[in-house]
Structure 1
Amino acid sequence: MGLSRIAGTIDDAVNRSSVRYLRSKGWRPRTIGLTGYGSVQSLHVLGRVVMSDPGEAGDEGEEIAPVGPINVAAEAQRGWRSFFTAQPGFLPVVVRAGGQVIRTTTDRGGYIDVMVRDHGLEPGWHEVVLEARAAEPVTAKVLVVDPEVRAGIVSDIDDTIMVTMLPRAFIAAWNTFVRHTTTRKPVPGMAELYRTVLEENPTAPVFYLSTGAWNTVPNLRRFMRTHGYPEGPMLMTDWGPTPTGLFRSGVEHKRTQLRNLMITYPDIRWLLVGDDGQHDPMVYDEVAREHPRHVAAIAIRELTPAEQVLSHGTAEPIEEPNPLRNANAEHGVPTVKGRDGDALARNLPDVLVARREQRLAEEAAEAQAAEEAAEARAAEARATGRHSAR
């Protein structure tokens, strides 16, 4: 038995014991609705079920009080509980989305991940209902993207829209325990940059793609609301062992989610936004080289030397795409870099306008070529018909 499988077995056993113990103490399952997304054909519904003390409000319903000497201990306790959870695996769940009712179960980590087809929902924001056994029904928001949309944003979170100034090993705990938005600092100009991009593309969806844990989502939502970031689904990951390793691969998580988005929305060209503190430049460039028609541009926030040291131990970026073999050199997918959103805003909007005009020209050329091919086939058919008539 491999080490990862042993670790997974231990993790499952500890979680089952924790669930049984908490049930004996009066705790009950509580469903957390996570933001889902989809098209007019199918919908990706997300949620999670965790054990919860009925006497305490859930993360989404808590009032946020100022940090002070009186409530620091209480805040730490709530943060601890939201980070270290027990989740009932394989619990029956009913999902009601549009005209569909889907019966499923949570996975071993308590997650609900359901694809709903033929849901009948119009483009826009909607709510679906999640009903887990022994838990109160809750709603989860879902975004149905209009099939006419041609632009979208995918954004990293840590060090891209939010300044962390912490070693990566501590970021997840910090995102959970440091709950108040006044202690979190946004990257200057990033929210304004996103709003500028959306002014040109008001129906463009915004997805937040991070290697952070799902447990941190409630706090990150508060941060985004406070600092004016556009609402959008958050594509996070889970910690712990997998069938192939002791920890999940953040790089592979981002690759997989980006490819899923391109499959779900084949007509959208994405602006990919990240930072150079970890692997975003390489992941984005790799995906853009594989799918150049699906990427409008790449925007990379350049970390300061101090942030680089905290991120991975050196003052320089950890890795950069090959200058001779990258998405720009091979396919014309541009990369814009800057210290913050204000720096990126000096060039990025013009780059996106140029890429949009390029896309429109390509689509017009393709339409003309298709029309000419159809005319040629029709002419050939007429000629064949006349020849047969003779």
Structure 2
Amino acid sequence: MTTTEQDGQDRGRLHWAARFEDVKNATVGSALRRLHWDLRLQPFHGYGSSTRVRVLAKVLYAAPGSPADFHDKPVHDMRTMAVRGWRNFTSQVAPFRTVRILLGGREYSVRADRSGIVDVELDVDLEPGEHEAVLWTVAGNEVTAEISVFPPEATVGLVSDIDDTVMVTLLPRPLLAFWNAFVMHQSSRQLVPGMPMLYQRLAREHPGLPVLYLSTGAWNVFPVLKRFLYKNGYPDGALLLTDWGPTNTGFFRSGREHKARALRRLAELFPQRRWLLVGDDGQHDPSIYAEFAAEHPELVEAIAIRQLTESEQLLAHGTLRPLPSRRRGADAPLTVTAPDGHGLLAALQRSEVIS
């Protein structure tokens, strides 16, 4: 079931905050249409296999005369990418709009959800490699989205957390999302030592390595995160982010459930591929990965956990020690820990996951 289909089923049971958001979107959208604002699409990096791919985008309003690629350009042109996330929160979403997709010579018609998000899986016939999907709502506002089709011979893939795994912000976790989104300049984000080297080593050892960055960050900061990864030498890959808006049950989506659901989706789409799961011990990554491994032990190559310092632990959840995690059984996958990418690489080499 797609996100849009699930959203439609749950709409009658929405939390009051979600109903309020729907009224706001309808009221503001109506006003913008009267001012002759147009629909625009912000494409995200999709991924999939030769027979099924996931396409991601967001439908937004834009002032008259704005170029069709005003959100597309920052993703594809690193020199012009926005460096502060707050700019990406000033746009108004356009819910439930029909979006056309042209990919591999076939045209598809899909529908955005109540948050303006397009998140669909399409049956395709594509060669492994990089492809471009063309998306539009009306003639003239076409944009292109990157689609990575993973080669079938790539038996190992990489799933990586972002905050405190590939970069460090050094802020209390309650302020982290706000700071990342609205304040922090991308050059102020601190690189976790050795992590780009670790991921580059994996990419060299596994040609065509599927790379996915799984985070509880909002789709609004996609351009900022893309730029950080690009500038610091991380392998290119799709970002699996989430929407911050209210749901049918509360004010915010569950970050833990977002990650668990994303992993389950990977298991369905790639039932033969094994994943190296990389995260940190500041929140719930160890438990989430352990639970996934218990459900799908055949799909986990290894788990690598970055150990936060005591000060980072304090900022992450208020104590000096890591949060309790799910106990691993005798048949649990290999799990290595270290404070940075250098240590994780050495541990994975000792365990012969990396030569």
- Calculate the TM-score normalised by the size of structure 2: 0.89
> Cα RMSD over matched residues?
2.5
Question: In the alignment, residue 116 of structure 1 is paired with which amino acid?
Answer: L
- Distance (whole Å) between structure 2 residues aligned to residue 347 and residue 79 of structure 1: 35
Q: What is the aligned partner in structure 1 of residue 112 from structure 2?
A: 106
Asked if residue 261 in structure 1 is aligned to residue 271 in structure 2, the reply is: no
CA contact (8 A) 1:4 1:242 kept: yes
Asked if residue 12 in structure 1 is aligned to residue 22 in structure 2, the reply is: yes
Select 1:86's aligned residue among 82, 92, 107: 92
CA contact (8 A) 2:281 2:306 kept: yes
87-96 or 2-11, larger mean C-alpha shift = 2-11
Q: What is the aligned partner in structure 2 of residue 378 from structure 1?
A: none
Q: Secondary structure at the match of 1:46?
A: strand
CA contact (8 A) 2:165 2:280 kept: yes
Q: Report the CA distance shift for 1:98/1:165 in structure 2 as closer, same or farther (over 3 A).
A: same
Asked if residue 308 in structure 1 is aligned to residue 300 in structure 2, the reply is: no
Q: Secondary structure at the match of 1:353?
A: coil
Shift of 1:115: 1.9
Q: Secondary structure at the match of 2:330?
A: helix
Q: What is the aligned partner in structure 2 of residue 42 from structure 1?
A: 52
Q: Secondary structure at the match of 1:149?
A: coil
- Greater Cα radius of gyration, structure 1 or 2: 1
- Distance (whole Å) between structure 1 residues aligned to residue 319 and residue 337 of structure 2: 19
Select 1:23's aligned residue among 7, 18, 33: 33
Shift of 1:149: 1.6
CA contact (8 A) 1:172 1:212 kept: yes
- Residue identity over aligned pairs, in percent, reads 45
Q: How does 1:144-293 map to 2 (within 5 A)?
A: 144-178=149-183, 180-293=185-298
Shift of 1:3: 9.4
Q: Give unmatched runs, 5+ long, in structure 2.
A: 1-10
Asked if residue 96 in structure 1 is aligned to residue 105 in structure 2, the reply is: no
Judging by fraction of residues, say which structure has more helix: 1
233-242 or 212-221, larger mean C-alpha shift = 233-242
Write out the 4+ residue segments of structure 1 that deviate beyond 4 Å after TM superposition. 1-4, 54-57, 62-66
Higher RCO (CA-CA < 8 Å; seq separation 6+): 2
Shift of 1:331: 1.4
Q: Report the CA distance shift for 1:3/1:318 in structure 2 as closer, same or farther (over 3 A).
A: farther
- Calculate the TM-score normalised by the size of structure 1: 0.81
Q: Report the CA distance shift for 1:334/1:345 in structure 2 as closer, same or farther (over 3 A).
A: same
Q: Deviations over 1:276-329 (max 9, x none)?
A: 11100100011111111100110001111111111111111122232xxx1xx3
Number of equivalenced pairs: 340
Q: Report the CA distance shift for 1:64/1:36 in structure 2 as closer, same or farther (over 3 A).
A: closer
Q: What is the aligned partner in structure 2 of residue 382 from structure 1?
A: none
Q: Report the CA distance shift for 1:26/1:284 in structure 2 as closer, same or farther (over 3 A).
A: same
Q: Secondary structure at the match of 1:191?
A: helix
Question: In the alignment, residue 13 of structure 1 is paired with which amino acid?
Answer: V
Q: Give unmatched runs, 5+ long, in structure 1.
A: 67-74, 357-390
Q: Report the CA distance shift for 1:308/1:6 in structure 2 as closer, same or farther (over 3 A).
A: same
Q: What is the aligned partner in structure 2 of residue 61 from structure 1?
A: 73
Q: Report the CA distance shift for 1:166/1:56 in structure 2 as closer, same or farther (over 3 A).
A: farther
- Distance (whole Å) between structure 2 residues aligned to residue 65 and residue 170 of structure 1: 29
Q: Report the CA distance shift for 1:315/1:53 in structure 2 as closer, same or farther (over 3 A).
A: farther
